[in-house]
Amino acid sequence: MVLFFGFLGSRADSPTVSITSSNVTHSLARIGDTVTVSISSPTGTAPSSVTIDGIPATITGGPLSWNASVVLTANQPAGTVTFAVTSADGSVTTTSDHSNVTFFPAQPIAEILAVDALPNVASSRTPIQLMVTFTEPVVYVGPSSFTATNATVTRTESIAYNQIFLVQVVPTTPGQYSVTLPAGTVFDHAGNTTGSATLSFVYDPSAPTAGVVKTPSAPSMPSNTTSGSSAPVTSANKDLPLGTATSIATSGLISTSSILIATDTAPSMMASDTATTTSGSASTAVWLGIIIILVLLIGGGWWYSRTVNPTV
């Protein structure tokens, strides 16, 4: 008796099994797609049952070939779709042509992150860079994927397998501007579309460079300035932890740089106090050096009198 699905050989009477999806990409599936297992047996041995991802499938066809289909729902697990074909001669759980279907039930989630500008905080930086992340790889993200208010998205670049993108935005006029990824404009390889995401900023040519946060300064304290800018740092919302520095090292749109998060200078660390401290440290070092030299001279004289010239 010929085993229905028992052998992987190339006998003429060996049955063949394949799996496909109704998705545009036949090896992928999303919720609502139909997955079909096709069975062909030259001997006419019909399958008695077929399950796809554990769901009993409806079998049609004969007398030499059959199809068994199931519509995928949110109850099926993500990943490779499994199946089992049972007949009087045995059962099989693998295809003979190495075909497979991968199920993507979830909608990709998009998030827009600020890179070198703080949301809703006045900044003179232009253009600014954003980072857009997705919970899974997507097919395409370009400037046309976004809508911008009082700004223009000029460039996008994938930096991690079509799952993380850098986006360059140029504000149009001073004031608030926003960038939005509308729902349905980006989709994964199975055709699932993303939800929407948005982020807003404020462009002010007279404001300090974005990425610097400072608490209100006391009148007696000197003004802190942003590195590379002569504009004083003004009060801002505490969107980021103070007193730290964040390094951003990426390729392409953003050169390696540091975003300094400034804090107020304490009164004890004003310029005059700093000079005094430095001067005191230098004096201490000089006196310590003199003491060490004297100890060496006295010790050397004692050693010479006891060893080299004991008669002295």
Q: Report domain extents, the chain.
A: 16-103, 110-260
pLDDT digit string, tens, across residues 166-199? 999 999 999 999 999 999 999 999 999 999 999 9
Tell which residue, 190, 163, 194, has the closest CA to residue 180: 194
Architecture of domain 110-260: Sandwich (2.60)
Per-residue pLDDT, 27: 96
Distance from C-alpha of 188 to C-alpha of 159, rounded to nearest angstrom: 17
Residue 275 has pLDDT above 70, yes or no: no
Per-residue pLDDT, 226: 35
Q: How does residue 15 score in pLDDT terms, banded at 50, 70 and 90?
A: confident
Query: Which residue blocks in 45-134 are alpha helix, DSSP H?
Result: none
| Tokens linked to 107 | 């909608």
Per-residue pLDDT, 156: 95
Percentage of the chain exceeding pLDDT 90:
55
Contact in structure between 172 and 148 (CB atoms under 8 Å):
no
Residue 145 is classified by DSSP as G
Edge-first strand order for the sheet with 55-56 is 55-56, 47-52, 83-87, 90-92
Per-residue pLDDT, 257: 33
Distance from C-alpha of 290 to C-alpha of 295, rounded to nearest angstrom: 9
Tell which residue, 111, 129, 119, has the closest CA to residue 203: 119
- Mean pLDDT value across residues 237-246: 33
Distance from C-alpha of 159 to C-alpha of 130, rounded to nearest angstrom: 12
| Tokens linked to 213 | 């946060």
Q: Which residue has the higher pLDDT, 72 or 267?
A: 72
Specify the fold of 16-103: Immunoglobulin-like (2.60.40)
Distance from C-alpha of 121 to C-alpha of 211, rounded to nearest angstrom: 9
Contact in structure between 62 and 128 (CB atoms under 8 Å):
no
| Predicted TM-score of the model (pTM) | 0.59
